[in-house]
Amino acid sequence: MESYRIAVFVIALVAAFAPLLVKIPTRFRMPVVVAEMLLGMMVGPHIFNWVSADGLVGMLGELGLTFLLFMVGLEINLDEMKGKPLTLAVGGWLLSFIVAMACMYVVHAIGLIQAPPLLAAVALSTTALGILAPILRDEGILTTDFGKLLLSAAAMGEFGPLIVVSMLIIPTHSTFLHTIFILAFIGITFFIADTAINARSSALIDLLAQTMQSTGQLPVRICIALQALLVVLAGEFGLNVVVGAFAAGMVVSLASKGDGGVILRQKLDAIGYGFLIPIFFIVAGMKFDISALWATPLVPVQIICLLGLLILIRGVPVLLYKQTLAPNDRLPFALYSATGLPMIVIISEVGVTSGLMAADRAAVLVSAGMISVLLFPLLAERIRGV
């Protein structure tokens, strides 16, 4: 027990130091998730070996993962996405995924990148919505037409890969049963969402609002209970548990409109980004086998190749935006869309824990994702001249 207390203290210290680290004036603006992973690597078993990612620490990391996906679902605003932005986002991601599959089968066949083509293709077709949103907000382009199109594309870049990972890559039943369970889970989620939306105008909401500033915090407790319920249902139905967390976030997003919803989201932000989510990225950094980066001379070539593939795969959808984006916005759009660390980390974690991907291959993928977060938004900002 004493060792767990020390481990929790070290992780809490790292989580507190990471936001301070990114405020150090440098030419490169480091996102806080990158700082958390780098510090996690340092305190983990592969460098200083102060903390190991097992027991209570591993459990907290898993809780952080589910809360991260809950917050991703919460950030998706279907009202702003509907119409042309949603159509372009769906078509763009499908095009990205097709190109990613073709590219990964080629590089896998020639032996350049030894990773399961389907899993690698899903990882490379992601976009980091949770990282892009604050960057775009800081740059003042979040509410512009460019920002809205990019947010829709980024949302699909997280939703699409998540669905593929949970429904195609890791089925635990026969195809027929898996399909039945998927439909049952979707039906239950829609029923809960419809109930929550209809309750928005009822007296129940007034009761919930009264507890928002008290020790009861009933709306927050209901959100966490809903997340736990859908995570359990997803696991029982043979889906990946992150789907349950993501679905819970979308349900809460639909149900929490108005001023009360803003306050609720702020409280959930505090729990997620102030406590559980940093632990996930720190633990992911602790699991990162840094020695894999120099295990063979081919690794740097693989990372450079993956960075190029990220830009190609998430840049191809720009072809669909020719009538919507100005010419000087197309390359920045591709670079922003190719920023993909959080979902790459999640997909790599799922691949390693399910036995579908070797840890050293996951380390190469995550390294490319970290560089993309550091480099691509900066390049996009410079090109746009914001």
The DSSP line for 180-222 is: HHHHHHHHHHHHHHHHHHHGGGSHHHHHHHHTTTSTT-HHHHH
CA-only gyration radius of the chain, Å: 20
Spatial contact of 253 and 27, defined as CB atoms under 8 Å apart: no
Which is more confident, 332 or 353?
332
What's residue 39's pLDDT? Answer: 93
pLDDT exceeds cutoff 80 at 293: no
Least confident interval from 190-204, 235-249, 299-313, 325-339: 190-204
Residue 332 token pair: 């920045």
pLDDT exceeds cutoff 60 at 173: no
Spatial contact of 63 and 117, defined as CB atoms under 8 Å apart: no
**Quick one: which of 57, 123, 131, 132 has its CA closest to 363?**
123
Q: State the Cα–Cα distance between residues 171 and 168, nearest whole angstrom.
A: 6
Which is more confident, 243 or 227?
227
pLDDT exceeds cutoff 90 at 299: no
Least confident interval from 27-36, 135-144, 346-355: 135-144
Fold topology of 2-384: Na+/H+ antiporter like fold (1.20.1530)
Number of Cβ within 10 Å of residue 28's Cβ equals 8
What's residue 12's pLDDT? Answer: 93
Spatial contact of 36 and 282, defined as CB atoms under 8 Å apart: yes
Q: What is the biggest distance separating any 2 CA atoms in the chain, rounded to whole angstroms?
A: 65
Number of Cβ within 10 Å of residue 204's Cβ equals 11
In eight-state DSSP terms, residue 357 is: S
**Residue 309: which pLDDT band, with cuts at 50, 70 and 90?**
very high
Which is more confident, 345 or 316?
316
The stretch 200-227 carries a mean pLDDT of: 73
Tell me the residue length of the chain: 386
pLDDT exceeds cutoff 90 at 369: no
**Quick one: which of 133, 74, 81 has its CA closest to 255?**
74
What's residue 168's pLDDT? Answer: 60
Which residues 6+ apart lie within 8 Å of 126 measured at CB?
157, 158, 161, 340, 343, 344, 347
The stretch 68-91 carries a mean pLDDT of: 79
Query: What sign results for the dihedral spanned by CA atoms 160, 228, 71, 248?
Result: positive
Integer angstrom CA distances of residue 383 from 6, 28, 332, 368, 377: 46, 15, 7, 21, 10
Spatial contact of 357 and 344, defined as CB atoms under 8 Å apart: no
Question: Angle between the 55-75 and 129-139 helix axes, to the nearest 10 degrees?
Answer: 60
pLDDT exceeds cutoff 70 at 263: yes
pLDDT exceeds cutoff 70 at 202: no
pLDDT exceeds cutoff 70 at 276: yes
| Mean pLDDT score of the chain | 82
pLDDT exceeds cutoff 60 at 1: no
Helices (H) and strands (E) in the chain, counts: 18, 0
Place of tokens 């900002």: 381
Integer angstrom CA distances of residue 32 from 16, 272, 321, 347, 359: 11, 14, 31, 20, 24
Q: State the Cα–Cα distance between residues 269 and 167, nearest whole angstrom.
A: 28
Spatial contact of 276 and 224, defined as CB atoms under 8 Å apart: no
The stretch 72-97 carries a mean pLDDT of: 82
Report how far apart the first and last C-alpha atoms of the chain are (Å, whole number): 51
Kindly report, residue by residue over 6-60, the tens digit of the pLDDT: 888 999 999 999 999 888 876 666 778 888 888 998 998 888 889 888 888 889 9
Q: State the Cα–Cα distance between residues 195 and 341, nearest whole angstrom.
A: 34
Kindly report, residue by residue over 99-134, the tens digit of the pLDDT: 999 998 888 788 777 777 888 888 899 888 767 776
The stretch 147-175 carries a mean pLDDT of: 74
Residue ranges per structural domain of the chain = 2-384
Over pLDDT 90: what percentage of the chain? 16
Which residues 6+ apart lie within 8 Å of 372 measured at CB?
307, 310, 338, 339, 340, 341
Place of tokens 């460019």: 146
pLDDT exceeds cutoff 80 at 182: no
pTM (predicted TM-score):
0.80
